[in-house]
Every structure is written in structure tokens, then in C-alpha cells.
Structure 1
Amino acid sequence: MNKLIGILEDDQGIRDILEFLLSEEGYEVECYTTVNNFLTKKDSSPDLFILDVMLPDGNGLEVCKILKSSPKTSATPVIMMSAHADMQQMNSGCRAEEFVKKPFDIFAMLEKIVQLLNKGNPTTH
């Protein structure tokens, strides 16, 4: 079964690029444009979350705090993205595993995703 990645990003261009790249890499992708849509989607359990910080109806840092405080999602890796925040703000805001500053290198982002999804699950090739 393919790994599921949940993306909360209001910028259509970034969302489309991530969705295309991750789909091409064999991941399932669920995209959300608002905090409300993201938080009301209850029937999925992504293996990794990618969250933008500045959203039209909320803040990705608050979403990260919610995810990390829930027993269901506390161990699920989170990648925060922002053009305005820095790592110190991310660390004080939530316990995300990674922070990516926009604009980002798409291949570096993919590498971080692969590392987080394979953490604790060594590949046997």
C-alpha cells in the first residue's frame, strides 16, 4: 500500500507541483486549501503532513500543535513550509520534524519526505 501524504497549502502552484511530484513518485496525496477543510477531514490517516504556515483561515503552526497533541497523529512526521518564518519560530510554534523555507528546491523536499517516511523502516534492497 502506498504511503499517504496530506498537504495543507493555499498556493495552487505549490500544491500542484507537490501533488504531481509525489504522485509520480508513487505516493497517494490529499490536498487541502484551508485549515477548516483539513481539520474536518476525519477518515484519512496520512503517513506524513506538509503544512504551510500562513493560510487564509488560520495558521499551520496551530494545526501542527493540534496534530502533535493528538494520540492518533502525534508520531506522524510534519514538514512545515513558510516564506516568512524561520526555524526558531517553527521550533517554538510546534514540534515539526522539518522546516522548509519557500521557495524550496523540489528535489531537496522530496529527499526530506523520503527520509521521514523511511525513518525507523530500513529498506531492504
Structure 2
Amino acid sequence: MIVLDINKDIIGTQKEVHAEDGQWVSRRMLLKGDNMGFSFHETIIKANTKTHIHYQNHLEAVYCVAGNGKIEDLKTGKVHEIYDGVMYALNEHDDHNLYGGTEDMRLICVFNPPIKGTENHDENGVYPLED
């Protein structure tokens, strides 16, 4: 059994990863090494920011539990509002922009395959595939 307290076990440790440009912070609670078959994160998207993301090696499901923002599908140009209670899934490795809204957005995220834990987006918005 794995039991974690985000305030005691994640925040301020190597499991709290910050975007290089400061637009998000990812608190990585379950990782590849936990052998669950997925990774589980809390991500804070800062208000009034834009992040390009294109997970070519991972699928991701995201559930918003606080704040607001938008997701823009770069293939179709369609923009979806995100707010408390909205879930989106990047089931086709969707290339997208994620925008922080008028307040920080708190997201609960699941990745498959799981990430190792230290990943940050490369210049194309991709997390590398870890062996």
C-alpha cells in the first residue's frame, strides 16, 4: 500500500517539478518506480500562461478540481473551456496549447505509460519515453 501526504511527501522534494518558464508545477505522486502501470500527478497551471504540449509517447487523462483555463486542439483549432468538474483525455497524442485562465488551475493527471519523475517538456512539448 502506498499512502502519501502531498504537503509532507511531495512539495519541496524532487517529486515537485517546475516548468522551466514557470508556467506550471507538477507534483508527481505515483511514478514508474511505484509499479502501478500509470503515473498520477497534481499539476498547477499558473494563471495567464500558455504551455505548448504534445505527448507523443504518453496518453494523459486530466480532471480539473479548481480554477479555470482553456485547451486548444492544434489539429482542429477547437478551444475548450476548462473549469472545476471538466475532464479531458489526450487519447490521440493530441498536440495542444494549455492556457491558464484568470486564476491558477489545479489538475489531477494520469499518464500511461507512467513517467519516471524528472521529465520536463522538450522544445516540442514532449516528455521523452523512458525505458
Alignment TM-score, normalising by the size of structure 2: 0.29
- Which of 1 and 2 has higher RCO (CA within 8 Å, sep 6+)? 2
- Please state which structure has a larger fraction of its residues in strand: 2
- Please state which structure has a larger fraction of its residues in helix: 1
